[in-house]
Structure 1
């Protein structure tokens, strides 16, 4: 019997939240986006509502809103910090997230309040999806 589940990319060098947000805390400022799994569940994205640069986000707050033909979902921040950059390219082409969720599809770059956020390693996140 073959497994029909899609083979999702879960990069080992990133950390993940159980709300399907990835964080690269090795970069300064930290980079955040939604996982390939989240993007596939939503379908083709049509709009991303980004926060303003300089906004302080607490862990558990809405970081952004992503909209597809199917649904509108908040992106829940797993970390606290101040937004330093937003991915303006998403304002005109939200599908960048679908095409390259771990690269050009990043959502924000934040200066983190806590350099040790409580996140999942790649293998822990993969186990969560099973």
Structure 2
């Protein structure tokens, strides 16, 4: 699986793509395939403050409920409300299905995240292939 090189990743399997001071957050393809069929997504509201590496919502699949962890600190500026009616969209294309957009509080938060190559190696080590 190829993970976009323009994204940064967490060890909890979230991705963030940064454009200026706005970060777009989603879950990785590895995460969605591990979860199975996604049936519900719980997301924060616009204006909510996120803390780096803290829970900001959850994804529910037919197998389990999994917490979402914010890669960065910031304020939610937009929520992908289309996921309320079609959470399974994440299963179709996790690399481009975003969950929330945030105004970054501290761009230095990005320094602790994994690049594409490091994340790919991390997934390979975690899965054994």
Q: TM exceeds 0.5?
A: yes
Q: Which residue of 2 aligns with 1:26?
A: 19
1:99 aligned onto 2:84: no
Question: Quick check: 2:11–2:119 contact (8 Å CA) kept in 1?
Answer: yes
Q: Which residue of 2 aligns with 1:39?
A: 32
Tell me, what secondary structure is at the counterpart of 1:48? Answer: strand
Of the three residues 79, 83, 88, the one matched with 1:90 is 83
Question: Quick check: 2:18–2:24 contact (8 Å CA) kept in 1?
Answer: yes
TM-score normalised to structure 2 length? 0.90
Any gaps of 5 or more consecutive residues in structure 1? 1-7
Q: Which residue of 1 aligns with 2:127?
A: none
Map residues 1-130 of structure 1 onto 2, 5 A cutoff: 8-26=1-19, 28-103=21-96, 105-116=97-108, 117=110, 118-130=112-124
Give aligned pairs, total: 122
Q: Structure 1 residues 87 and 59 mapped into 2: Cα distance closer, same or farther (>3 Å)?
A: same
Structure with the larger helix share: 2
Question: Quick check: 1:29–1:109 contact (8 Å CA) kept in 2?
Answer: yes
1:96 and 1:14 map into 2 onto residues whose CA distance is 19
1:6-63 per-position Cα deviation (integer Å, ceiling 9, x unaligned): xx23111111011100000135521000000000000010000110110001012212
